[in-house]
Amino acid sequence: MMEELAFPLQPHDMLRVVRDSVPMRGEGARAIGAHPRGVTIAIGAFDGLHLGHRELMASCVADAAARGTTSVVVTFDPDPSELLAGESAERRLLSVEDRVALCRMLGADEVLVLAFDEELAAQEPARFMESLRERLGAIRSVHVGSNFHFGARGAGNVETLRELGLRMSFEVVPHRLLSVDGSPVSSTRIRSQLANGHVEQAARMLGRHHFVRGTVAHGRGEGTSFGFPTANVCCDVRSCLPAEGVYACIVTDGRRAWPAAANVGAPPTFSDRRDAFLEANLIGFDGDLYGSDLAVIFVAWLRTSRPFSSIEELERVVLGNIDWVRHNIGEASVEVRP
């Protein structure tokens, strides 16, 4: 379980939030060959890498160590649900690059990312497992969630996997769904919490604070005129942004991290309403971030978005939000890495 935050945060608390929530991207997925001593694998979409995923992965890594095999996480890009749902697909809690990096942070030796396309979706369960054996070498054990389905039309399940294990000489280790507050933890449940602005509840199920990445672009400029620097962050349209509103955040470029009050969604006060975006008011920042890639970590909900009768009223409320962040998150940046 993630350690609960106690406000006001200290600088080391800010640093812990950043390091626990945002993975440092490394070399990414790479070509993986057969392993002479065999492999222990975990299979799943693993979107969000929530507490249930982490428990499964820790078991896989420990199992591999006990067997003297290589631990390999097998995941998919895109998430199978995206291909099957089409335009109605759910937003991503993590990009595939961050999924790979987090898997490595959690101890996996290798991460195999399979391109999930029509051909892979049509593979029968037996052929899917045979193709993994051809690519990875002897499979000693397979870790999956108890609700795991695979193969054409989702016909394969844990029992199918056990039957294949008898034929292919691997053990199957199913994992019961982890519960928080009496209900199973799932990526769908986490998205629902985020859709309602409940970023603290989502963090309890993720085991870390939710974040999105984006690139800083030129914005309207209102924040700068109020006397505080503003980063207008353009995110991938597939990213799972929380509900429109204002949040206490920590923003990092990978080297430093700043406390911030961030608005999600086009602000209702201004008439030129455009596509939704994320606007972060950075505390303790002085410089130019245009074109920079940032991660925005959502720490706490502050208020709903609402129209204001004047710029003066808007400024008064926004400065109140920033004062809350200053008092509870911090007044200055922290160094993440030199």
Contacts of 264 (CB under 8 A, 6+ apart): 241, 242, 243, 244, 245, 246, 247, 276, 278, 305
Residue 275 scores a pLDDT above 50 = no
Residue 227's pLDDT is 67
Q: 3-class DSSP state for residue 101?
A: helix
Residue 269's pLDDT is 47
Residue 4 scores a pLDDT above 90 = no
pLDDT in tens, 88-98: 778 999 999 99
Residue 111's pLDDT is 96
Domain boundaries, the chain: 31-177, 187-335
Residue 249's pLDDT is 98
In the chain, the amino acid numbered 211 is: F
Instruction: Compute the average pLDDT of residues 10-39.
Output: 84
Instruction: Compute the average pLDDT of residues 260-276.
Output: 65
Q: 3-class DSSP state for residue 160?
A: helix
pLDDT category, 271, cuts 50, 70, 90? very low
Residue 267's pLDDT is 56
Residue 260 scores a pLDDT above 60 = yes
Residue 100 scores a pLDDT above 90 = yes
Residue 86 scores a pLDDT above 80 = no
Percent of the chain with pLDDT over 70: 92
Instruction: Compute the average pLDDT of residues 133-159.
Output: 95
Give the CATH number of domain 187-335; options: 1.20.210.10, 2.40.30.30, 2.30.40.10, 2.170.190.11.
2.40.30.30
Secondary structure of the chain: what % helix, strand, coil (to 5)? 35, 25, 40
The neighbour count for residue 206, using CB atoms within 10 Å, is 26
Among 32-46, 133-147, 159-173, which is the least confidently predicted range?
32-46
- The fold adopted by the segment(s) 31-177 is Rossmann fold (3.40.50)
Residue 228 scores a pLDDT above 90 = no
Distance CA 72, CA 103 (A): 9
Residue 255 scores a pLDDT above 50 = yes
